A = this chain, B = another copy of it.
Amino acid sequence: MRPGFAQLRVLDMDEAIEHYVERLGLDLVSKEDDGRVYLKCFDEFGRHSIVLRETDQAGIDVFAFKAENDDAMDGFRKRIEDWGLEVDEVPAGEMPGTGRRIGFTIPSGHRIEIFGEMELSDMAPETVNPHIWKGEPPRGMKAQRLDHCLLYGPNLAETQQFLIEALDFHVPELVKLPDGEPFAIWATVSNKAHDIAFVAHEEPGKLHHIAFFLQDWAEIGHAADIITQYNLSLDLGPTRHGITRGQTIYFFDPSGNRNEVFSGGYTAYKDHPQRTWDMENVGRGIFYYERKLNDAFLSVVS
C-alpha cells in the first residue's frame, strides 16, 4: 500500500500539462472525454498517478492509496466503517484502467480513496533485463514518482488516530503544540519517512503540496535551475527538511498548487523511537538550513 494518485484542480489545463510534462518530466497518459488528464512519472508501474481537472479553484480533490488488491481494499472498508467514517464506492472504470475505489472524508476534511487494481502502464519501467530508464533519458526535473502530499486541516489528533487504527500507518515524526496536541504529523505505511503529512489549520481540506521524488541533491540543484530558467514561481529552497531529512524545493504550478521535489529521507521502521519537535524548533524542523518558517508555510494557497 502506497500513494496511488492525486487528483488536482487546475485553472488552465494547457499550462498545467506543460508544467507537469515538460518541467516535472511526467508522461502524458491520456485526455478523457470528461476533460480530466492523466499523467504518470517515468518510474511508476501504474497507469497514472496524477489526475488534473480544470476548474476555477486550485487544490486537491482526492489523494488515493493503492492497496495490494480489491480484497485488501474491502478489508480496509470494513475497518474504516468500524472506526466510524462513512465510506462510498466509486465504480471500476470511473477512471480509465482503474478498478473500484472506496472513498471517505477524514477528520481533517480531506477526501481519501483506496483502490486495489490499476492497469500496468505500457510506459512502465522495463522488467526484462531492464535499463535504468525506458527509452530516452527523463525530461525536465526527472520526477521518479509521486511521493507524498502535505495537507492542512483541523482535527489532527483524530486524523492521526484514524490513520494508525484503521489504515496501519505509523508516525515516525511529529511536531507538538505546547499543550501536547499535534501541530503536524508525518505518517507512513511503508519504510519511506512519510507517505502523507498533515499540518493543523482552521480550514478543512486544504493542500499544502504534492511531492515528487528525485534521485539526489544534484537533481534538486538541477530542478532549481529549471525553476528559474522557465520562470516558475519558487516558494523556498533548495534546502533540507530537518523532519524526514529530505532535500527539497517548494515551488508552484501555474494554478498555484504547491509542488515539492524531494530526495533522500531516512528509512522508517515501526520499532524506531518517534522523533518529536516542539514549536520553538519547528522552523529548523521544516527548513533545516533557514531555521524559520516562511509566511507561505503558515498560509496555504490552495
Partner-B contacts on A (CB < 8 A) = 2, 43, 45, 66, 68-69, 120, 124, 126-133, 137, 140, 145, 190-192, 215-219, 221-222, 224-229, 234, 237-240, 242, 245, 247, 263-264, 266-267, 269-278, 280-281, 284-285, 288-291
Copy number of this protein in the oligomer? 4
Q: How far apart are A158's CB and chain B's nearest CB, in angstroms?
A: 24
| CB nearest neighbor in B for A141 | B137
Instruction: Write out the residue numbers on chain B whose beta carbons fall within 8 Å of the beta carbon of A278.
Output: 128-129
Complex Cα gap A271–B124 (Å): 13
When the two chains form their complex, are residues A225 and B271 in contact, meaning their CB atoms are under 8 A apart? no
Instruction: Write out the residue numbers on chain B whose beta carbons fall within 8 Å of the beta carbon of A264.
Output: 215-216
Complex Cα gap A195–B267 (Å): 13
- Contacts A242-B131, A267-B192 given: A45-B289 contact, CB under 8 Å? no
Instruction: Write out the residue numbers on chain B whose beta carbons fall within 8 Å of the beta carbon of A247.
Output: 221
- Contacts A132-B245, A273-B45 given: A291-B228 contact, CB under 8 Å? yes
| CB nearest neighbor in B for A45 | B272
- 25 A-B pairs in the complex with CB atoms less than 8 angstroms apart: A43-B266, A45-B272, A66-B271, A68-B271, A69-B271, A124-B273, A126-B275, A127-B274, A129-B242, A129-B276, A129-B278, A132-B225, A133-B229, A137-B226, A137-B229, A191-B192, A218-B219, A224-B239, A224-B289, A228-B242, A228-B288, A228-B289, A228-B291, A234-B289, A238-B238
| CB nearest neighbor in B for A285 | B129
When the two chains form their complex, are residues A275 and B240 in contact, meaning their CB atoms are under 8 A apart? no
Instruction: Write out the residue numbers on chain B whose beta carbons fall within 8 Å of the beta carbon of A284.
Output: 129, 228
| CB nearest neighbor in B for A263 | B216
When the two chains form their complex, are residues A131 and B229 in contact, meaning their CB atoms are under 8 A apart? yes
| CB nearest neighbor in B for A276 | B128
| CB nearest neighbor in B for A292 | B234
When the two chains form their complex, are residues A132 and B242 in contact, meaning their CB atoms are under 8 A apart? yes
Partner of A240, one of B124, B225, B269: B225
Complex Cα gap A302–B143 (Å): 40
Most chain B CB neighbours (cut-off 10 Å) among A120, A126, A140, A224: A224
